Structure 1
Amino acid sequence: MTDQCPSTARRKTFLAEIVAAPVTRTAALLALCAAYIQGPLTKIFDFNGALAEMEHFGLHPAAAFAVVVIVFELTASAMVVSGFLRWVGALGLAGFTLLATLIALRFWELPPGMDRMMATNAFFEHLGLAGAFVIVAAIDLTKGEGK
């Protein structure tokens, strides 16, 4: 009986070609940065909402924090997606994510229940996101920017 499926090595090569394709890489980097593109755009189109968010988390002056966050997230995302100093943008977003997570998702302060469970899940999802940015930076630093 002959094997009608391609060999494991051939499948791995095929998958590697798809995963390594420039369009796949760009789509993956856009997906990784999606929250850091959507968030500032939402803040731009609803600046009063952005101010309320900064106030909610005790960040003063709220307007200055909102503008800095908007500019930072869009700039760092552009760096990651474009490849221009990708490692700088990725490490910046990793640090920003950790800091924002510690400010906004302090699940340990919430009483047991649905809100605590949701905050706990979001906290650990954000840790994973920060880790992904560190991996992007590591790859960029070890293989060259924009590759």
Structure 2
Amino acid sequence: MTSQTRSQGSLGWLLTSPVTRFIALLGLCAAYIQGPLTKLFDFSGALAEMEHFGLHPAAFFAVVVIAFELTASAMILSGFLRWLGALALAVFTLLATLIALRFWEMPSGMERSMAMNAFFEHLGLAGAFVIVAAMDVVKGAGK
């Protein structure tokens, strides 16, 4: 066995470890756990956010977003219908990105540049959720 084969074997073991998978999924879901917890502890801030984006009634949308993000994240982390939770967060991320990060409507400058960067980062998150869903369906875990 060559050193390259040994290192690939070690890397393969590390990348396919259940612990690594859970940590990676936790990282992917981190914003969808932190966000709703912040909204729970500062509900008036959550209401202001919903109002800012024109979502009425604000209390209804705040509660739905909190419950949705925590539930979908729990589905992904627990493996229970992981594919469904991942696809739901992919769609949610795309919709929220189109609502909140409309960089093309902003004047040139730092704020537009930051919004554009965040827009494309969110597209990457949505893509990662689609990959998680696809991997679960291919493995037959989508039952």
Name the TM-score, length of structure 2 as normaliser. Answer: 0.97
Query: Match for residue 35 of structure 1?
Result: 31
Aligned length: 141
Q: CA deviation at 1:11?
A: 1.0
- Distance in structure 1 (CA, Å) of the matches to 2:127 and 2:5: 29
- Distance in structure 1 (CA, Å) of the matches to 2:58 and 2:141: 35
Structure 1 residue corresponding to 2:41, chosen from 41, 45, 68: 45
Residue 29 of structure 2 aligns to which amino acid in structure 1? C
- Distance in structure 1 (CA, Å) of the matches to 2:14 and 2:140: 21
Q: Secondary structure at the match of 2:107?
A: coil
Query: Match for residue 138 of structure 2?
Result: 142
Asked if 1:129 is matched to 2:135, the reply is no
Q: CA deviation at 1:77?
A: 0.1
Residue 129 of structure 2 aligns to which amino acid in structure 1? F
Asked if 1:70 is matched to 2:47, the reply is no
Structure 2: runs of 5+ lacking an equivalent: none
Q: CA deviation at 1:7?
A: 2.2
Q: Please, what is the CA RMSD of the aligned residues?
A: 0.9
After the TM superposition, which residues 61-140 of structure 1 pair with which residues of structure 2 at under 5 Å, given as runs?
A: 61-140=57-136
Q: CA deviation at 1:21?
A: 0.7
Q: Secondary structure at the match of 2:96?
A: helix
- Distance in structure 2 (CA, Å) of the matches to 1:145 and 1:28: 18
Residue 131 of structure 1 aligns to which amino acid in structure 2? G
Query: Match for residue 50 of structure 2?
Result: 54
Q: CA deviation at 1:86?
A: 0.1
Residue 30 of structure 2 aligns to which amino acid in structure 1? A
- Distance in structure 1 (CA, Å) of the matches to 2:6 and 2:101: 44
Structure 1: runs of 5+ lacking an equivalent: 1-5
Query: Match for residue 16 of structure 2?
Result: 20
Residue 128 of structure 1 aligns to which amino acid in structure 2? G
Q: Secondary structure at the match of 1:58?
A: coil
- Distance in structure 2 (CA, Å) of the matches to 1:81 and 1:12: 27
